[in-house]
């Protein structure tokens, strides 16, 4: 599906049409300040004009500063999250997220919580954490996992 | 006063910040809040918000259904879990069709999401449900020597249109919660800035520079410590403070406390029971002693 059509199919994605390119989002964006490769206004602009998504979408911290400040109520951060899901559908899960997903499939946590962690918890008077396979089943059923 | 909650700690806390869990339980006990553990709850689904929406919503609904079974609202300690569970709960309550789809997935693991409970972050529980005045009654060791800087983080407050807690531009809840301990809440530049944790895996350089910026601002304001209400922000500022120093070439030496660690000290709870061995940058414990 064309990216523009795809964005319009979802309630937050639709708000991309409100954007009038003022640049307030980029002005307050911490990632943009620290990394000249990143610019949320350009991400929206590129999607509307060229119908394209590029790798820079992964540099968003999801802090919502842009979305809170946008004068047109464009859901900038939610749109970027939506673009990430579209990216994954087309190109698969990026390498740097795969370990988290693998951990989730194996134990139900994003990090392996084992004896070391539970011993510490015991010393602190806290209950041990239990792994579960329900999350693996949910990931399999919804097709969200590492193939 | 509402005083019973199902208690969800997510992944980061048991992996790297059980001291946050420990201090929260001590504080809850003093305040007469009853917490029901969910030791097999696992992850809230946050990362799947970026991967697959159905996986995300189903994982979140699974956790929500565990609190529903106990007929309790769900208290969370992590901003990430707050954003993920609060928003999934809202979305599913408002979309019966989506709820049905999620329940088809949950049937696979013998669960059902009904939409009968609320999600509340610890900071929100303390500020709204318990209230500053009730907390004040329990302060026996006012921390009058302490100058602390508040870090709210992002998903405690935002997107504000949905979460509707405090003011996303000029929040006061955590500052008030710091002040009730007797400490001074120190203002600093760019207080609402994000910790950068979310881009750590994709671009560590940007993440650590973001972390370092805030630590520099906190130091410049003369604060003795930074106070967090999120384990992930805490890991960025405390455990990763060295990495941020390496990236920026600066030295910060700013201790970072989980908010309930600070509150517990003001309630006269022994520091030995608050897991300070897990705080990487050790605070000067003399600051917390009665004059
Ligand atoms: S602040 Fe809003 S209207 Fe302005 S460029 Fe960004 S998204 Fe567009
Ligand atoms: S949510 Fe992303 S794009 Fe928006 S201000 Fe934060 S880092 Fe920038």
Q: Which residue of B has its CA nearest to A10?
A: B53
Q: How far apart are CA A3 and CA A6, in angstroms?
A: 5
Residue B1, pLDDT score: 61
Among all bound ligands, the one having the nearest atom to the CA of A18 is 1
Domain count, chain B: 2
Residue B154, pLDDT score: 98
Position B127 in a domain: no
Q: Give per-residue pLDDT as tens, B93-121.
A: 999 999 999 999 999 999 999 999 999 99
Termini Cα distance of chain A? 23
Identify the domain containing residue B280 by its residue range.
Answer: 140-288
Which of B49, B158, B169, B194 maximizes ligand 2 atoms within 8 Å of its Cβ, making it the mutation to test the pocket?
Answer: B194
Q: Give the CATH number, domain containing residue B269.
A: 3.40.50.11810
Q: For residue A109, how far is its CA from the centre of ligand 2 (angstroms)?
A: 26
Query: What domains, with CATH codes, occur in chain A?
Result: 3-91 (1.10.1060.10), 98-142 (no CATH)
Residue A146, pLDDT score: 79
Position B263 in a domain: yes
Q: For residue A29, how far is its CA from the centre of ligand 2 (angstroms)?
A: 5
Instruction: Sort residue B152 into left (φ over 0), alpha (ψ -120 to 50) or beta.
Output: alpha
Residues B113 and B150 in one domain: no
Does the pLDDT value for residue B221 go beyond 90? yes
Asked if A137 is an interface residue toward chain B (Cβ–Cβ < 8 A), one would say yes
Residues B17 and B145 in one domain: no
Residue B2, pLDDT score: 74
Position B47 in a domain: yes
Output phi, psi for B243, to 5 deg.
Answer: -65, -40
Of A35, A84, A126, the CB nearest to B206: A35
Q: Give per-residue pLDDT as tens, A38-86.
A: 999 999 999 999 999 999 999 999 999 999 999 999 999 999 999 999 9
Sorted by sequence, the CB contacts under 8 Å of residue A95 that are 6+ apart come out as: none
Residues B268 and B157 in one domain: yes
Residues B192 and B84 in one domain: no
Give CA separation, A117 vs A104, B16, B158, B275, in Å.
17, 8, 31, 13
B164-168: average pLDDT: 97
Q: How far apart are CA A88 and CA A143, in angstroms?
A: 12
Chain A hits for B205, Cβ within 8 Å: 35
Q: How far apart are CA B220 and CA B141, in angstroms?
A: 27
Q: Give per-residue pLDDT as tens, A123-132.
A: 999 999 999 9
Q: Give per-residue pLDDT as tens, B246-257.
A: 999 999 999 999
Q: Give the CATH number, domain containing residue B96.
A: 1.20.1050.140
pTM above 0.80, yes or no: yes
Q: Is any ligand 1 atom within 6 A of the Cβ of residue A9? A: no
Contacts across the A-B interface (CB distance below 8 Å): 176
Q: How far apart are CA B9 and CA A110, in angstroms?
A: 13
Q: Give per-residue pLDDT as tens, A106-124.
A: 999 999 999 999 999 999 9
Residues B144 and B284 in one domain: yes
Residue A129, pLDDT score: 96
Residue A1, pLDDT score: 82
User: C-alpha A15: how far from its chain's center?
Assistant: 18
How far does the CA of residue A67 sit from the closest CA of chain B (Å)?
A: 8
Sorted by sequence, the CB contacts under 8 Å of residue B161 that are 6+ apart come out as: none
Residue A2, pLDDT score: 92
Cβ atoms of residues B139 and B267 within 8 Å = yes
Could you tell me where the beta strands, DSSP code E, fall in B56-102? 73-76
Position B277 in a domain: yes
Cβ atoms of residues B83 and A63 within 8 Å = no
Residues B114 and B159 in one domain: no
pLDDT category of residue B231 using cuts at 50, 70 and 90: very high
Q: Give per-residue pLDDT as tens, A15-39.
A: 999 999 999 999 999 999 999 999 9
pLDDT category of residue B183 using cuts at 50, 70 and 90: very high
Q: Is any ligand 2 atom within 6 A of the Cβ of residue A20? A: no
Asked if A61 is an interface residue toward chain B (Cβ–Cβ < 8 A), one would say yes
Cβ atoms of residues B13 and B278 within 8 Å = no
Q: What is the ipTM of this complex?
A: 0.96
Residues B112 and B165 in one domain: no
Residues B148 and B260 in one domain: yes
How far does the CA of residue A50 sit from the closest CA of chain B (Å)?
A: 22
B34-52: average pLDDT: 96
Could you tell me where the beta strands, DSSP code E, fall in B98-140? 119-121
Sorted by sequence, the CB contacts under 8 Å of residue A51 that are 6+ apart come out as: A2, A3, A4
Position B130 in a domain: no
Among all bound ligands, the one having the nearest atom to the CA of A78 is 2
Residues B73 and B212 in one domain: no
Does the pLDDT value for residue A105 go beyond 90? yes
């Amino acid at each position: 599906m064309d990216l523009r059509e795809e964005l319009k199919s979802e309630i937050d994605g639709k708000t991309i049409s409100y954007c009038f390119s003022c640049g307030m989002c980029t002005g307050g964006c911490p990632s943009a300040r620290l990394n000249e490769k990143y610019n949320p206004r350009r991400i929206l602009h590129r999607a509307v004009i060229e119908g394209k998504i590029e790798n820079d979408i992964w540099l968003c911290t999801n802090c919502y500063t842009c979305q809170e400040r946008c004068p047109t109520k464009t859901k900038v951060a939610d749109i970027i999250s939506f673009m990430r899901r579209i990216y994954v559908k087309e190109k698969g899960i990026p390498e740097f997220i795969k370990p988290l997903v693998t951990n989730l499939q194996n134990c139900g946590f994003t990090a392996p919580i084992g004896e070391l962690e539970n011993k510490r918890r015991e010393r602190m008077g806290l209950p041990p954490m239990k792994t579960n396979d329900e999350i693996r089943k949910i990931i399999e059923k919804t097709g969200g996992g590492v193939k | 006063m509402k005083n019973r909650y199902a208690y969800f700690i997510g992944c980061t806390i048991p992996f790297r910040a059980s001291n946050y869990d420990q201090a929260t339980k001590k504080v809850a006990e003093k305040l007469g809040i009853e917490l029901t553990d969910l030791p097999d709850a696992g992850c809230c689904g946050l990362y799947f918000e970026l991967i697959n929406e159905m996986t995300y919503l189903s994982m979140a609904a699974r956790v929500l259904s565990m609190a529903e079974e106990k007929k309790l609202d769900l208290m969370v300690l992590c901003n990430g879990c707050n954003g993920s569970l609060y928003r999934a709960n809202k979305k599913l309550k408002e979309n019966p069709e989506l709820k049905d789809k999620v329940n088809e997935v949950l049937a696979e693991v013998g669960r059902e999401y009904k939409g009968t409970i609320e999600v509340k972050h610890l900071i929100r529980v303390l500020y709204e449900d318990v209230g500053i005045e009730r907390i004040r009654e329990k302060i026996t060791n006012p921390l009058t020597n302490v100058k602390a800087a508040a870090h709210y983080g992002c998903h405690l407050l935002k997107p504000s249109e949905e979460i509707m807690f405090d003011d996303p531009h000029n929040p006061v809840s955590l500052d008030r919660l710091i002040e009730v301990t007797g400490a001074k809440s120190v203002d600093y530049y760019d207080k609402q800035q994000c910790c950068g944790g979310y881009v750590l895996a994709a671009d560590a350089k940007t993440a650590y520079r973001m972390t370092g910026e805030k630590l520099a601002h906190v130091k410049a304001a003369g604060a003795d410590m930074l106070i967090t209400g999120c384990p992930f922000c805490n890991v960025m500022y405390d455990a990763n403070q060295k990495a941020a120093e390496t990236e920026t070439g600066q030295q910060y030496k700013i201790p970072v406390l989980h908010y309930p660690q600070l509150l517990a000290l003001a309630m006269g709870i022994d520091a030995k029971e608050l897991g300070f061995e897990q705080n990487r940058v050790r605070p000067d414990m003399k600051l917390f002693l009665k004059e």
